[in-house]
């Protein structure tokens, strides 16, 4: 205990330098004048008595001589020890005889009156009476290096924890892993149990007089962290805590109580990626507190959906967190001119990461939820896309469901057609298709991994060092590959007449309306036989045009988001918000269309299952070829599948 330790240290000093300090003053006065002879006589008697104790207790005397009490005589602690006929087991006087202040503090603390007598005894903390050492001695149970172990004798004891209902679980174990314990272990200055809880007057945290009471914690931590505490007291949190608002955070609410870790450690509540969720979000994401104190309830989810929040959720520690913009301890309202996020200081704050913010490009609104965007353009883009996604994908599901139902009722024939078949996809088209297929799949994975970083499939990149940056670069490379596929396709059309003739058939016409009508009559049971499919049906035309449109749209918005800082030099901030919304919802629409429409047509359709091999060898599955045989206006313009290709045009198909 610290108070006792001070007394012990003082005792050591008195022994070493000739009774210096307060005790020396009284003895020095007695040694002057006529009392000198009397004092020498008493000293001789004491030495004689001490020698008599050594006759029986020589081993004990040797131990005592090395302890903090070595300067005392046996009779100082054991009254009656000078009587040669004293009984065995001679008792000792109370420690309070010398350490009255420590005894008074102990009596006023939580340890007084504990049922276990050994807990309340001085020796339970300071060690055996004859071997007691000063707190400055490394071997002392109350030294800085061993105090946690000493306190853990009770507070880490499961039986005592159950008996006295300790509310904190494994506090000593938590402290041992903390940055404070690490400093003490290295011999550096660091707080131990007594520095925060006091030495003898240890009170429960609920007691206003306790150093670890909620209102007192800043003062306690400020003993070592004075500058930080001064900044905290002037913050919005410090002022609220000083007014008695219990929900306002103090040091331990953000940093923890015993397991205080460095901000650089991943397990710390103030580690960069933990701040939004574990620390700031714990209060600012609480609707009860928001309603009680009139706080905005949308800040945490808005941050989580922003680029900064998505990157943080993916584990990127270098992206801006709450503390990066609002400050660490000196957090102030945005209306305060001193605040980091006040209108006057916002450009400088953002400029730490984005040089030129507010000058070369505009600073857009912060903490904006999707449903509360300031610009109407973003609202209407989102609204239109949501209706489009539900309408288009819902229509695809209905169409494919009816088609599957009718083909299940009337299974198609799967025998191969006689004679050679016309090539469906030329080699050039197949190469472009592979590049498009691979780049699109990578874009889907890496793009949605940014939006949903906690998903198990997105976490596959989290195990990599700098996984977030890797995801971003892979996404950009795949985007360039997608645009390259479009460019290769355009060049192919420009230099190949037969390719242009094939793609020209992709223009919608009246025959498509007629095919749709006849096919739905068949689906609804109004027609007994299915209509003959043209060489290029309405489904393939719609899909091709959608790919062209989607590639252009995703390419434009992707480049805008890639070069965001450059775009903001000429465009308002809401334009980037529109680009973000279009990029995200178009990705959803395209992905669902591929899964629902394209995969059914080339994999799950009974006429091609388990796969249409046209993308591999250029020829359709036999069932698909039979569907197209001799069909409609398109079939009249083109030779049926059963007819051989003209000489020299073996690779001229689509």
pLDDT in tens, 459-479: 777 656 677 788 899 999 999
Peptide bond into 610 cis (omega under 30): yes
Backbone φ and ψ for 361, nearest 5 degrees, come out as -150, 160
Q: What is the SS3 string spanning 197-229? A: HCCCCCCCCCCCCCCCCCCCHHHHHHCCCHHHH
The predicted model gives 398-411 an average pLDDT of: 93
Rounded to two decimals, the pTM is 0.70
Residue with tokens 């574990």: 278
Q: What is the pLDDT of residue 327?
A: 94
Judged by average pLDDT, the poorest of 46-55, 206-215, 598-607, 629-638 is 629-638
Q: Which tokens is 636 given?
A: 């009249």
Number of H helices, E strands in the chain: 35, 0
Q: Once rounded to an integer, what is the mean pLDDT over residues 494-499?
A: 94
Q: pLDDT above 70 covers what percent of the chain? A: 83
Task: Compute how many other C-beta atoms are within 10 angstroms of the C-beta atom of residue 357.
Answer: 19
**375-392 tens-digit pLDDT:** 788 889 999 999 999 999
Domains of the chain: 1-84+97-178 (no CATH), 288-372 (no CATH), 376-637 (1.20.950.20)
Kindly report each contact of residues 597-606 with a partner whose C-beta sits within 8 Å and lies 24 or more positions away, as own/partner.
597/396, 597/400, 597/539, 597/543, 598/543, 600/400, 600/403, 600/404, 601/539, 601/540, 601/543, 604/404, 605/403, 605/404, 605/407, 606/404, 606/407, 606/408, 606/411, 606/412
Taking the C-alpha atoms of residue 480 and residue 364, their distance in angstroms, rounded to an integer, is: 28
pLDDT at 635: 37
- DSSP structure class, residue 619: -
Q: What does DSSP assign to residue 11? A: H
Per-residue model confidence (pLDDT) at position 648? 38
- What lies within 8 Å, CB to CB, of 368 at 6+ separation is 302, 374, 577
Alpha carbon distance 581, 385 (integer Å): 9
Q: How confident is the model at residue 42 (pLDDT cuts 50, 70, 90)?
A: very low
């Amino acid at each position: 205990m610290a108070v006792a330790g001070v007394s012990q240290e003082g005792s050591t000093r008195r022994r070493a330098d000739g009774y210096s300090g307060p005790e020396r003053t009284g003895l020095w006065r007695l040694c002057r004048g006529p009392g000198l002879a009397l004092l020498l006589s008493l000293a001789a008697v004491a030495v004689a008595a001490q020698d008599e104790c050594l006759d029986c207790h020589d081993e004990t005397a040797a131990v005592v001589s090395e302890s903090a009490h070595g300067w005392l005589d046996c009779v100082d602690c054991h009254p009656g020890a000078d009587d040669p006929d004293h009984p065995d087991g001679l008792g000792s006087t109370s420690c309070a005889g010398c350490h009255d202040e420590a005894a008074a503090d102990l009596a006023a603390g939580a340890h007084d009156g504990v049922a276990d007598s050994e807990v309340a005894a001085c020796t339970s903390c300071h060690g055996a009476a004859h071997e007691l050492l000063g707190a400055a001695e490394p071997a002392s149970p109350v030294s800085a290096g061993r105090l946690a172990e000493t306190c853990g004798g009770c507070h880490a004891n499961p039986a005592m924890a159950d008996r006295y209902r300790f509310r904190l679980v494994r506090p000593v174990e938590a402290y041992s892993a903390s940055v404070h314990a690490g400093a003490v272990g290295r011999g550096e200055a660091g707080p131990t149990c007594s520095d925060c809880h006091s030495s003898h007057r240890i009170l429960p945290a609920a007691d206003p007089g306790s150093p670890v009471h909620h209102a007192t914690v800043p003062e306690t931590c400020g003993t070592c962290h004075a500058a930080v505490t001064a900044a905290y007291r002037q913050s919005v949190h410090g002022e609220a805590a000083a007014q008695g608002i219990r929900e306002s955070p103090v040091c331990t609410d953000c940093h923890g109580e015993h397991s205080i870790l460095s901000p650089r450690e991943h397990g710390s509540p103030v580690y960069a990626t933990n701040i939004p969720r574990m620390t700031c979000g714990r209060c600012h994401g609480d609707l009860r507190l928001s309603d009680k104190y009139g706080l905005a309830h949308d800040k945490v989810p808005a941050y989580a959906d922003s680029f900064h929040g998505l990157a943080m959720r993916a584990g990127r520690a270098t992206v801006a967190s709450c503390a990066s913009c609002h400050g660490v301890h000196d957090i102030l309202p945005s209306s305060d001119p001193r605040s980091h996020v006040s209108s006057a200081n916002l450009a400088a704050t953002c400029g730490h990461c984005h040089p030129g913010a507010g000058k070369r490009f505009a600073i857009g609104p912060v903490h904006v939820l999707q449903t509360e965007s300031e610009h109407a353009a973003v609202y209407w883009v989102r609204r239109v896309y949501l209706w489009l996604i539900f309408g288009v994908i819902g229509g695809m599901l209905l169409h494919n469901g009816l088609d599957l139902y009718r083909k299940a009722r009337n299974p198609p024939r799967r025998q191969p057609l006689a004679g050679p078949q016309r090539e469906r996809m030329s080699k050039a088209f197949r190469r472009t298709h592979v590049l498009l297929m691979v780049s699109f799949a990578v874009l889907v994975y890496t793009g949605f991994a940014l939006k949903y970083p906690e998903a198990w499939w997105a976490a596959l990149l989290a195990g990599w060092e700098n996984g977030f940056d890797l995801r971003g670069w892979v996404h950009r490379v795949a985007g360039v590959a997608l645009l390259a596929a479009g460019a290769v396709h355009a060049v192919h059309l420009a230099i190949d007449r037969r390719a242009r003739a094939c793609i020209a058939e992709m223009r919608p016409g009246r025959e498509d309306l007629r095919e749709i009508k006849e096919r739905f009559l068949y689906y609804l049971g109004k027609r007994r036989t299915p209509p003959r499919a043209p060489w290029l049906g309405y489904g393939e035309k719609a899909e091709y045009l959608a790919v062209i449109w989607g590639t252009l749209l995703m390419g434009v918005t992707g480049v805008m988001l890639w070069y965001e800082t450059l775009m903001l030099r000429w465009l308002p901030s809401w334009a980037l918000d529109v680009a973000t919304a279009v990029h995200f919802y178009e990705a959803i629409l395209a992905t669902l269309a591929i899964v629902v429409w394209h995969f059914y047509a080339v994999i799950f359709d009974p006429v091609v299952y388990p796969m249409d091999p046209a993308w591999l060898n250029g020829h359709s599955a036999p069932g698909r070829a039979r569907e197209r045989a001799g069909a409609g206006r398109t079939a009249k313009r083109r030779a049926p599948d059963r007819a051989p290709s003209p000489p020299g045009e073996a690779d001229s198909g689509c």
